[in-house]
Structure 1
Amino acid sequence: MSSAAPALPWWKTVFVFGPHAGSHRVAVRAGISVVVPLVTVWALGHVEWSLYAAFGSFAALYGRNVRYRHRFLMQLSAAVVLVGAVVLGVVVAGMPSHEWWIVGIGAAWATLVAVLSDVFRWNPPGPLFGVFALCAVASVPPGPDSLLIAFVVSSGAAVVSLLVGGAGSVIVRRARADERVAASARPADAPSNPVARRRTRLLPDGDQRLAHAARFGVAAALAGGLSTALGIGHPYWAMIAAVVPLVAVRLSHSALRATHRIVGTFLGLILAAILLSAQPSGLAAIALVVALQIAAELFVTRNYGFALLFVTPLALVMIDVAHPTDTATLIVDRLVETALGTVVALLVAAATWAIWGRRDRASTSRSRGPLPATPTA
């Protein structure tokens, strides 16, 4: 008789790598989707538009291994949200005292995008990229005609992502065969992402589902508000760090994701310091962004912490290309903001699960009713 494999100690799960599962195909799609719009804005002589282009191309990161039709619809919905985030970010950037507007509007946006993520069954789930796009763009001073430029550039990049995703499904027939095999090995209605599967199975319905989305906004508001009040630069990094662990449903999974965030960011900052010390610009910076994007997609579903080794310098290089900033300031702010946001996320996760757990126990107790009398011999 076979027995279940023993569960790994918590600290060992931090270092576990999942299966490759065709990550190279996703990485290639993401790389092409990023390089085309970035090279285009560089050729036009407007590298400051690269932030708009990069966030539009993030539509390619959705629907990793789902069938083409579902991937297209998922990427289309994500593209609309990302373009909206970029445009809204430009609007917020032009507001007086925009630092506090970033916190308030970013928190509300996090809640809305979390709801949309559930509705459209995004893979990866959650509002991370939508919040990142809005808050990062809102932190850069707008220029003349920035609103129209942001819309056109981000929309164009999103269209490129959709076209690349469609072309890949036609050219790489082996990918479709692999997806059919993978689909036959799981229930027809199960999402392909393991985090999404856990979320679908465990997340309560009704009001608690809305509460699950709302806690993204609460965490983003707390982290961004604390960072802004303390005068730390780039408060949106705290907001991003605050929403990442909340994608997981179980508290233990949130803690694991938070650990990945802290460890991966710390190691990624070391690599970022090395890369930024070379002061990359122009095509060299674009090549670096593309290489880091590809590397991140190769590992993001296998081990999130290891992927952050590449995601962290990717974010810093993107910001530095569009809006050059002192490297030491960038690195210190990123580290402090990540720690702050992660702590806030764990506190919110613990609080919400304590509330939900108490409600579940009360509901279970009511449903069981009085205990039956013990029969006598």
Structure 2
Amino acid sequence: MTTILRPYARSVVTVGEHGGAHRAALRAGVSVLLPFLVLLALGHVEWSIYAAFGAFTSVYGRNAVRSARLRMQAAAAAVMVGSVLLGSVVAILPGREWAVVIVASVWAIAAARVSDVFRFTPPGPLFAVFGLCATASAPGSAANIPVAFAVAAASALLALLIGQVGRVRRRLQQAPDARGGVGPAESPARPSTRAARPLIRAPRPALRLHHTLRYGIATAIAGLLSTGLGIGHPYWAMVAAIVPLVAADLPNAFVRGTHRVLGTVAGLAVAWLLLLLEPSGLVAILLVVALQIAAELVVMRNYGLALVFVTPLALLMIDLVHPGDPGQLIADRGVETLLGTLVAVAVACASWLMTRRQVASTGTLA
């Protein structure tokens, strides 16, 4: 037992290398800050939820070279804007609390497939499902659909441009100076490198469909359970059900599930302290941006540590758009996270058993 638990415990608490995370964190922070400030100036802070998910385009391709990052982020922007658009449509449907479970489950499969094709880093449909469900949970109207699309699209486009700032700066540094020479900053062009592979391995081709369908199954089960139980924010369970399934194998699924639960618990304590201050307007926006930057600084180093910042970030965003009882928000987040994680671990275990049975009976993964 010790030989099993020791590597597991080590994986849970290990913090990886910094790896230039400050650049990705800065891009993400600016991508969120600028749209929020514009909406605050326009007097439409309630639209910030659309802007936030468009801005989350910036979290993709953090370690990719700029051309590869542009391709990946363009695909991610389409997914994120599509998520907001779908969510705004679901928000006006009758019985939307059940409709969102069906739509989100299908969207999880579609977004996971896009993630595989474009080799998203981070992989999986987490942000896509989060964006769809959070938007669908907000009060909606038909007139709000084009607003949601426009705000999310503008925010995503800004994130794309910010992701390419380094390319513009490099070209300016290499431009000929007034004497016909080149600036001192010019150096031989670096050889093009592929985007850094995700830390979580992609599944074998024969297992891709199986791997992708798991997201839809887990999302549906978590959504049906949480909605049926009448918990306040069912989409948090659906989002939590995706996280462990991003892992390539069962041990890593357990590690990510543990990170999700423990990181959320610690994050709820931070959220409680921040919500007691009742931040609003510019103060709330600056807190959201600071938490976004902090999360991006550590998310690739230790996912559980990142959730200490992601959890209050999510609750502050909800409170910014729809102020409510902080105690209820915190309780819902905790219960939904535990429920969704348990569902994900159960699906991961069932998937592992099915795969082993197939290998044992056929001797192949085909």
- TM-score normalized with structure 2 length: 0.91
Which residue of 1 is the match for residue 55 of structure 2?
Answer: 57
Which residue of 1 is the match for residue 197 of structure 2?
Answer: 192
Q: C-alpha distance in 1, partners of 2:28/2:335?
A: 29
Which residue of 1 is the match for residue 84 of structure 2?
Answer: 86
Corresponding letter in the other structure for 1:17: V
Deviation track 1:107-134 (CA, whole Å, cap 9, x = no partner) reads 1110110011001110000000000000
Determine if contact 2:88/2:136 at 8 Å carries over to the other structure: yes
Which residue of 1 is the match for residue 355 of structure 2?
Answer: 356
Which residue of 2 is the match for residue 204 of structure 1?
Answer: 204
Superposed counterparts of 1:318-329, under 5 Å? 318-329=317-328
Q: C-alpha distance in 1, partners of 2:66/2:306?
A: 25
Determine if contact 1:29/1:168 at 8 Å carries over to the other structure: no
What SS does structure 1 have at the residue aligned with 2:13?
Answer: coil
1:329–1:7 Cα change, 3 Å: closer
Determine if contact 2:91/2:141 at 8 Å carries over to the other structure: no
Superposition deviation, residue 169 in structure 1: 3.5
Contiguous gaps of at least 5 residues in structure 2: 174-186
Q: C-alpha distance in 2, partners of 1:182/1:267?
A: 41
Determine if contact 1:110/1:217 at 8 Å carries over to the other structure: yes
Corresponding letter in the other structure for 1:320: D
Which residue of 2 is the match for residue 374 of structure 1?
Answer: none
What SS does structure 2 have at the residue aligned with 1:66?
Answer: coil
Superposition deviation, residue 16 in structure 1: 0.3
Q: C-alpha distance in 1, partners of 2:361/2:105?
A: 31
1:191–1:355 Cα change, 3 Å: farther
Corresponding letter in the other structure for 1:45: G
1:366–1:272 Cα change, 3 Å: closer
Which residue of 1 is the match for residue 262 of structure 2?
Answer: 263
Which residue of 1 is the match for residue 143 of structure 2?
Answer: 145
Deviation track 1:336-367 (CA, whole Å, cap 9, x = no partner) reads 00000000000000001111112123333899
What SS does structure 1 have at the residue aligned with 2:205?
Answer: coil
Corresponding letter in the other structure for 1:205: P
Corresponding letter in the other structure for 1:194: L
Deviation track 1:315-343 (CA, whole Å, cap 9, x = no partner) reads 11111111112101100000000000000
Superposition deviation, residue 11 in structure 1: 1.1
Superposition deviation, residue 142 in structure 1: 1.0
Determine if contact 2:63/2:196 at 8 Å carries over to the other structure: no
Superposition deviation, residue 300 in structure 1: 0.2
Superposition deviation, residue 144 in structure 1: 6.2
Q: C-alpha distance in 1, partners of 2:61/2:333?
A: 28
Superposition deviation, residue 171 in structure 1: 3.0
Which residue of 1 is the match for residue 342 of structure 2?
Answer: 343
1:280–1:130 Cα change, 3 Å: same
1:182–1:65 Cα change, 3 Å: farther
Q: C-alpha distance in 2, partners of 1:337/1:366?
A: 34
Q: C-alpha distance in 1, partners of 2:319/2:254?
A: 31
Which residue of 2 is the match for residue 167 of structure 1?
Answer: 165
- Number of equivalent positions: 348
1:152–1:343 Cα change, 3 Å: same
> Does the alignment pair 1:286 with 2:285?
yes
Superposition deviation, residue 42 in structure 1: 0.7
Contiguous gaps of at least 5 residues in structure 1: 1-5, 368-377
Q: C-alpha distance in 2, partners of 1:351/1:114?
A: 19
Superposition deviation, residue 7 in structure 1: 11
| RMSD (CA atoms) | 2.2
Superposition deviation, residue 235 in structure 1: 0.2
Identity value in percent = 52
Instruction: Give the one of 18, 21, 28 matched to 1:20.
Output: 18
Which residue of 2 is the match for residue 116 of structure 1?
Answer: 114
Superposition deviation, residue 9 in structure 1: 2.4
